[in-house]
Structure 1
Amino acid sequence: MDVRQLRILRELGELGSVSAVAEALLVTPSAISQQLRLLQRSIPVPLTERSGRRVVLTDAGQALAGAAVEVETALARARQTITNFLEQPDGDVSVAAFHSAGATFFPLLLRGLAGPGNPRLVLADEDVAQDRFPRLARDYDLVLAHRLDHAPPWPRTVTVTPLLHEPLDVALPAGHPLADKTRLSPQDVAGQPWITVHDDFPLLATIEAIGAAANRRLDIVHRINEFSVAAEAVAAGGGLALMPRWTARRHPAIVLRPLSDVHAQRHIDALHRPERTARRAIRMVIAELRRAAAQIQDRGTA
């Protein structure tokens, strides 16, 4: 038996005829009769009987129709419970982010959503290779992910909310001879030692593009994923590095210079499974992420 069949039985008890039930439910009488036959197959005693030209409920049918009322009442309560859950503004929302996005966005989220009536944030750092970001959407409500301009788009299994389109600059010590230039070319930087990320992480493709534009292989001496650590290595003279213009913490001993002739930009996006935004709390966090992104860009370009 299913809920539709139980409802038909209940309506038959109240309306008194198959044709009246069909009219009330906007289906044909034959469809009503078919559902009653299917229901009868799962019940060991007759549910209906003939009374003249009409089909009426037996005592067993009346008992089951009474139970159908309880079933529909329970389902209505369950639907209301789900509605209340989806519209609840202060439910838990889990957000994962790669390191530089977490360092920049998390404080803004925590301040922007502080206080009663706001979602309860559950934050985590996840620094993974680009193709693994969409998989994190299984475990987190929202995932802050980054990809380079020329990288493949995110798969259709996730919904994408664009947040930032961020330039990547060359970081070098403040006293470095190249620091006097306002822009750097691949030929300027190709002969320098480099600090870059581990294999399969997005920024490595831009490093390779610099080498291709300069027609030489770059000398990669250090592999450091965390920008704050890489900045310390740059400041100490360990080499040049690519740094995001807005989301990396400013280091007083290094300078950033834009790169010519190589398209060095990355997208920072919020990824989530499409069904997640049925919850009001998650929609509130996405709206706050957009506000935070605008603030980050305004602060970086001021």
Structure 2
Amino acid sequence: MELHQLQILRELGALGSVTAVAEALNVTPSAVSQHLSALQRGVRTPLTRRDGRRLALTPAGEVLAAAGTEAIDAMAAARSALDEFESEPTGVVTVSGFHSAGQALFGSLVRELSESDAAPTVQLTDEDVAQSDFPALTARYDLVLAHRMEHSEPWPKAGIRSLTLVSEPLDVAVAASHPLAARDSLTPDDVVEQPWVTSRIGYSPDDVLRAVSAVAGRALEIRHRINDYGAVSAVVAAGDVLGMLPRYTSRSVDDRDIVRLPLLGVSTHRLIDVLARPENLRRRSVRIVVEALERVMARLKE
């Protein structure tokens, strides 16, 4: 039983297919299958089973994968101890972020790190996925900027660590010429009869509107589904629909023709979290990037 075999078993449990594991670990599917077979030969109980087109872990496989996570973490701790001894803050740290977080944070993050004489190099990628798909991205990136609604299920704890950067309200956006623009705040009853532009299902604005519909006891008219907040603002400014915009991470949106109003009576806060594998957080370079993200977000919230 070898450490890399346990890592492959863990990734299989997280990603569900040999192909996905191979892509995440930059190896061939054949190599993944060979390592799984070698691991299986060392134990009597089946570790995997077919679940339709997916290859899932059996209960025994899940137990071994969990133990493997601890072993990987322990090995990372040993490497981290050496890194700390050498005081090496540099290296490459990969970061993914959903679109609005990337627009709001990535540029400032690069500038923040450039002000240090000894800072890691960040490789940035935008990954705009539904809330449920963020944890799997930790197999591909050192740090994953993720969002979830405050009232939703927490991130899985097995093999993943999370740190909240901010609790961000989503505000109602209306055209400056709209009758509601003169209000200081809105309630579900104020907006339930209005047509809306919102996100695709599985994203924060749509979650808020589902809560509005539940509180008001009526279905809302969803006219458009757009994930880009700049496009949402442009459609709202045309005057036909209301929209939802995050308060901090959409400040690059042009507000000349729209008004943002707080929505009372429902939970509108989304958490922007950093997700990472525990062994990655033991690297000093990764922790430096996390600390820089915290500073950038704190300034953005001011």
Q: What is the TM-score of this pair, normalised by structure 2?
A: 0.69
Query: For residues 95-244 of structure 1, what are the structure 2 equivalents within 5 Å?
Result: 95-114=95-114, 116-156=117-157, 157-244=159-246
> AA paired with 1:200?
G
Change (3 A) 1:79 1:147: closer
Gaps of 5+ in 2: 1-77
> AA paired with 2:140?
D
Listed one character per residue, the Cα deviations across residues 246-279 of structure 1 (whole Å, up to 9, x for unaligned) are: 1112422111100111111110011100010221
Question: Does residue 272 of structure 1 match 2:273?
Answer: no
1:203 is displaced (CA, Å) by: 2.7
Q: What is the CA–CA distance in structure 1 between the aligned matches of 2:271 and 2:286, rounded to whole Å?
A: 21
The answer to whether the Cα contact below 8 Å between 1:88 and 1:279 also exists between their aligned partners in 2 is no
Decide which of 279, 291, 300 is 2:295's aligned counterpart.
Answer: 291
> AA paired with 1:172?
V
The answer to whether the Cα contact below 8 Å between 2:205 and 2:245 also exists between their aligned partners in 1 is no
1:229 is displaced (CA, Å) by: 1.3
The answer to whether the Cα contact below 8 Å between 1:194 and 1:239 also exists between their aligned partners in 2 is yes
1:87 is displaced (CA, Å) by: 4.1
Q: What is the CA–CA distance in structure 2 between the aligned matches of 1:281 and 1:85, rounded to whole Å?
A: 14
Gaps of 5+ in 1: 1-77
Listed one character per residue, the Cα deviations across residues 99-118 of structure 1 (whole Å, up to 9, x for unaligned) are: 11111111110110015421
Q: What is the CA–CA distance in structure 2 between the aligned matches of 1:246 and 1:124, rounded to whole Å?
A: 20
Change (3 A) 1:192 1:91: same
Q: What is the CA–CA distance in structure 1 between the aligned matches of 2:137 and 2:86, rounded to whole Å?
A: 22
The answer to whether the Cα contact below 8 Å between 2:84 and 2:284 also exists between their aligned partners in 1 is no
Which is worse superposed, 147-156 or 231-240? 231-240
Change (3 A) 1:177 1:81: closer
Which is worse superposed, 129-138 or 200-209? 200-209
The answer to whether the Cα contact below 8 Å between 1:86 and 1:280 also exists between their aligned partners in 2 is no
Q: What is the CA–CA distance in structure 2 between the aligned matches of 1:296 and 1:258, rounded to whole Å?
A: 18
Change (3 A) 1:281 1:79: closer
Query: For residues 61-100 of structure 1, what are the structure 2 equivalents within 5 Å?
Result: 83=83, 87-100=87-100
Q: What is the CA–CA distance in structure 2 between the aligned matches of 1:242 and 1:129, rounded to whole Å?
A: 17
Q: What is the CA–CA distance in structure 1 between the aligned matches of 2:134 and 2:79, rounded to whole Å?
A: 33
1:242 is displaced (CA, Å) by: 1.0
Change (3 A) 1:93 1:79: closer
The answer to whether the Cα contact below 8 Å between 1:87 and 1:279 also exists between their aligned partners in 2 is no
1:84 is displaced (CA, Å) by: 7.7
1:83 is displaced (CA, Å) by: 3.3
SS at match of 2:239: coil
Q: What is the CA–CA distance in structure 2 between the aligned matches of 1:227 and 1:295, rounded to whole Å?
A: 21
Q: What is the CA–CA distance in structure 2 between the aligned matches of 1:171 and 1:98, rounded to whole Å?
A: 21
Q: What is the CA–CA distance in structure 2 between the aligned matches of 1:123 and 1:181, rounded to whole Å?
A: 40
Change (3 A) 1:147 1:79: closer
Q: What is the CA–CA distance in structure 2 between the aligned matches of 1:162 and 1:81, rounded to whole Å?
A: 26
Listed one character per residue, the Cα deviations across residues 67-112 of structure 1 (whole Å, up to 9, x for unaligned) are: xxxxxxxxxxx97996389842220111100011111111110110
Q: What is the CA–CA distance in structure 1 between the aligned matches of 2:180 and 2:83, rounded to whole Å?
A: 60
Tell me which structure has the larger Cα radius of gyration: 1
**RMSD (Å), alpha carbons:** 2.0
Q: What is the TM-score of this pair, normalised by structure 1?
A: 0.69
Listed one character per residue, the Cα deviations across residues 189-237 of structure 1 (whole Å, up to 9, x for unaligned) are: 1111100111222331211111122221100000101111111111122
SS at match of 1:113: helix
Change (3 A) 1:178 1:139: same
